[in-house]
Amino acid sequence: MKPITLIQLLIEERRAGRINAELSLLIEVVARACKRIAVATGKGALGGVLGEAGTDNVQGEAQKKLDVISNEILLEANAWGGHLAACASEEMEDPQPIPDAYPKGGHLLLFDPLDGSSNIDVNISVGTIFSVLQRPAEHGENVATEEFLQPGSCQVAAGYVVYGPSTELVLTVGHGTHVFTLDREVGSFLLTERDVRIPESTSEFAVNMSNQRHWEAPMQRYIGDLLAGKDGPRERDFNMRWVGSMVADVHRILTRGGIFSYPLDAKTTSKGGKLRLMYEANPMAFIVEQAGGAASTGRQRMLDVAPTALHQRVPVFLGSKDEVETAVRYHQAD
Ligand code: AHM
């Protein structure tokens, strides 16, 4: 049987009363923008899109040309449909309101337009991550930054698109996690896995081992026990993978299980961690929980974290439920 399209799935979700027309339009628009980003990334050196943009983002990180291009594609696509009140991007200091020329909607969109962008120039998978919130009922005329500061459990949708050998969209609206593959000839996302489930246990971990000496004691003990393999307390060997693009690492874990971690380390403690709560950790945590996995800061369920700043950073542990719970036990025992 021919797989159904993203639009058909969104219609199903509307008929089931799980999303409204505005959220359905929002997801369609984001997916369409991501197709344009897929085309831009796919051109590589031929599109003149590789290399540095010559600017820094709000995090003080050098932007790649494709960071800037992807950000503009998402902003432009989402400006005029009437489905949004404002957007916030990892690449911009402040939220971007919808221009006065267009009608405003009741949703807030947050995105990391091109995650893992240090991998672009070496032709390794990168991705877009997005998170959708509802605008709080009590609000003024202009959207305030505080309106975005809702815990991850308030997300009404989240997703990512991985630009790899194939382009895949992974989406949740809070009723399971679904995977779509882009049919490049037709230009449609087709549903290739409904209600994906992450295996509960795993023998594979993902972490940047070069930071080992900077980690806190519980993380040192946890990874030490994984590395000890059959001879250690875990009594089995563990494999390691680290792409360095969160989207690609999480996608592998969604597909075959594993634990992804970007823990606190001495270099990032003062910032709260490396990865961003609102653009990376929360949407991935929602997707992973909806696929039967777990996501934590090591000390708290990720989706319960009360945000205090738009660009807040957090330590991240997510993936196979049993393994995330094990990592959390090491941190709680501290
Ligand atoms: P970015 O937003 O600058 O691309 O940084 C986020 C990336 C994640 O995709 C990835 O998991 C991590 O940073 C890689 O960090 P490291 O370079 O320390 O391995």
The pair of three-digit structure tokens given for residue 16, joined into one six-digit string: 């089931």
Q: Rounded to the nearest whole angstrom, what is the distance from the C-alpha of residue 116 to the centroid of ligand 1?
A: 5
> What does the longest C-alpha to C-alpha distance in the chain come to?
66
Backbone angles phi, psi at 324, to 5 degrees: -65, -40
Are residue 51 and residue 99 in the same domain, yes or no?
A: yes
CA distance 39 to 36: 5
Are residue 188 and residue 219 in the same domain, yes or no?
A: no
Are residue 46 and residue 115 in the same domain, yes or no?
A: yes
Q: Rounded to the nearest whole angstrom, what is the distance from the C-alpha of residue 185 to the centroid of ligand 1?
A: 31
Beta carbon of 59 within 6 Å of any ligand 1 atom: no
Pick the closest to residue 223 from 207, 235, 210 (CA basis): 207
CA distance 74 to 84: 12
Beta carbon of 67 within 6 Å of any ligand 1 atom: no
How far lies 19's CA from each of 12, 86, 236, in Å?
9, 19, 44
Look at 46-60, 86-100, 119-133, 169-183 and tell me which has the smallest mean pLDDT. 46-60
Specify the pLDDT at position 23: 97
- Is the distance from CB of 283 to CB of 155 less than 8 angstroms? yes
Are residue 18 and residue 153 in the same domain, yes or no?
A: yes
Q: 119 pLDDT band (50/70/90 cuts)?
A: very high
Alpha-helix runs per DSSP H in the chain: 6-15, 21-43, 65-79, 217-228, 246-256, 282-290, 321-332
Q: Give the range of the structural domain holding residue 124, as residue numbers without chain letter.
A: 6-193
Specify the pLDDT at position 294: 98
How far lies 275's CA from each of 60, 205, 206, in Å?
14, 17, 14
β-strands 204-206, 239-240 pairing: parallel
Q: Rounded to the nearest whole angstrom, what is the distance from the C-alpha of residue 79 to the centroid of ligand 1?
A: 28
Looking at 136, 168, 193, the residue that finishes a domain is 193
Specify the pLDDT at position 9: 97
User: 225-279, pLDDT tens digit by residue?
Assistant: 999 999 999 999 999 999 999 999 999 999 999 999 999 999 999 999 999 999 9
Burial class of 7 by CB neighbour count within 10 A (0 to 12, 13 to 18, 19+): middle
Q: 63 pLDDT band (50/70/90 cuts)?
A: confident
**Could you tell me if residue 199 is inside a domain?**
no
Q: Rounded to the nearest whole angstrom, what is the distance from the C-alpha of residue 129 to the centroid of ligand 1?
A: 13
User: 3-36, pLDDT tens digit by residue?
Assistant: 999 999 999 999 999 999 999 999 999 999 999 9
Query: Can you give the CATH number for the domain in which 284 is found?
Result: 3.40.190.80
Are residue 238 and residue 134 in the same domain, yes or no?
A: no
